[in-house]
């Protein structure tokens, strides 16, 4: 039997799943009922699936979701939340990512903005896209530090390459001059080429005054709002409801 040398060669070629599948096949007494093409197809499928799972694990890890277990299937739809099930189903298809459109989620604190954002980001990863979750305040702090250390351009380049960039809790405070310039730079790189998902406690019609400077506000909102899907969450804080339950 040439099983052992074959397994060693497969492992040397880094075909670990194929090697494991080959060993498993040899241990099945009825494997002889399958023709060569069927057996070989099973081995190729095992290797392909293993690599796809590894790539997915890497994408999910690198995305740094705040809620790593959030998924579109677990989003709930109580009446008082006024969440459009058809819209969520459409967004879960990730066509918005394919078409490089944005998603804007607004609502009071505790209404589930971050969960939905992470669920849609998770879904994008499962569809083969790269995503990155950032709390807006921390991202702008990182950009300030990157400018001081000479890595600002590198960080902007990383953000530009993400298929989905999630900016969570944006506009919690008035936007500073440097933040305005940084946000415009980020959106300029992404507009029409990548998708951005923004969550905020403020509705989009309040963002203009929060940004402050009219020229930059016009430029930022034009890139964010054009063709974007909007979700406005209603109802009381879900965290408060769970604490009282």
Chain segment 173-211, per-residue pLDDT in tens: 889 999 999 999 999 999 999 999 999 999 999 999 999
- 199 secondary structure, DSSP code: E
Do 103 and 191 reside in the same domain of the chain?
yes
Do 42 and 159 reside in the same domain of the chain?
no
Do 86 and 51 reside in the same domain of the chain?
no
pLDDT digit string (tens) for 86-136?
999 999 999 999 999 999 999 999 899 999 999 999 999 999 999 999 999
DSSP bridge pairs for 167: 134, 198
Q: Please name the residues in contact with 30: beta carbons below 8 A apart, sequence gap of 6 or more.
A: none
Write the CATH number for 104: 3.40.50.300
Angle at 164 between CA 158 and CA 168, to 5 degrees: 95
User: How far apart are alpha carbons 97 and 194 in whole angstroms?
Assistant: 7
Do 105 and 58 reside in the same domain of the chain?
no
143 lies in which domain range?
64-244
Point out the domain boundary residue: 38, 62, 86. Answer: 62
Do 188 and 140 reside in the same domain of the chain?
yes
Do 130 and 52 reside in the same domain of the chain?
no
0.85 exceeded by pTM: yes
Point out the domain boundary residue: 22, 45, 62. Answer: 62
Do 114 and 169 reside in the same domain of the chain?
yes
Do 9 and 84 reside in the same domain of the chain?
no
Do 165 and 120 reside in the same domain of the chain?
yes
Point out the domain boundary residue: 36, 62, 88. Answer: 62
Do 73 and 58 reside in the same domain of the chain?
no
Domain count within the chain: 2
The whole-number average pLDDT for the span 29-55 is 90
Residue 176's alpha-carbon distances to 35, 103, 211, 221, in angstroms, are 68, 23, 8, 16
pLDDT of residue 237: 77
Tell which residue, 227, 155, 152, has the closest CA to residue 195.
227
User: How far apart are alpha carbons 165 and 157 in whole angstroms?
Assistant: 12
Do 75 and 196 reside in the same domain of the chain?
yes
Do 91 and 206 reside in the same domain of the chain?
yes
């Amino acid at each position: 039997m040439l099983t052992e040398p074959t397994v060693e060669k497969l492992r040397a070629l880094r075909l670990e799943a194929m090697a494991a599948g080959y060993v498993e096949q040899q241990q099945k007494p009825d494997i002889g009922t399958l023709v060569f093409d069927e057996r070989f197809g099973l081995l190729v499928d095992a290797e392909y699936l293993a690599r796809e799972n590894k790539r997915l694990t890497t994408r999910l890890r690198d995305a740094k979701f705040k809620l790593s277990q959030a998924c579109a299937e677990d989003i709930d739809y109580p009446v008082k939340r006024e969440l459009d099930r058809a819209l969520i189903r459409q967004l879960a298809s990730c066509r918005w990512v394919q078409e490089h459109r944005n998603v804007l989620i607004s609502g009071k604190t505790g209404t589930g903005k971050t969960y939905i954002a992470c669920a849609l980001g998770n879904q994008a990863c499962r569809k083969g896209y790269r995503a990155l979750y950032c709390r807006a305040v921390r991202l702008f702090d990182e950009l300030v530090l990157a400018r001081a250390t000479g890595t600002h351009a590198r960080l902007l380049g990383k953000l530009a390459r993400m298929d989905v960039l999630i900016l969570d809790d944006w506009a919690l405070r008035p936007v500073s001059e440097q933040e305005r310039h940084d946000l415009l730079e980020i959106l300029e790189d992404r507009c029409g080429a990548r998708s951005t998902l923004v969550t905020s406690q403020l509705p989009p019609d309040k963002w203009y005054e929060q940004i402050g400077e009219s020229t930059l506000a016009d430029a930022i909102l034009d890139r964010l709002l054009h063709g974007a899907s909007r979700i406005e969450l209603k109802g009381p804080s879900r965290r408060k409801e769970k604490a009282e339950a």
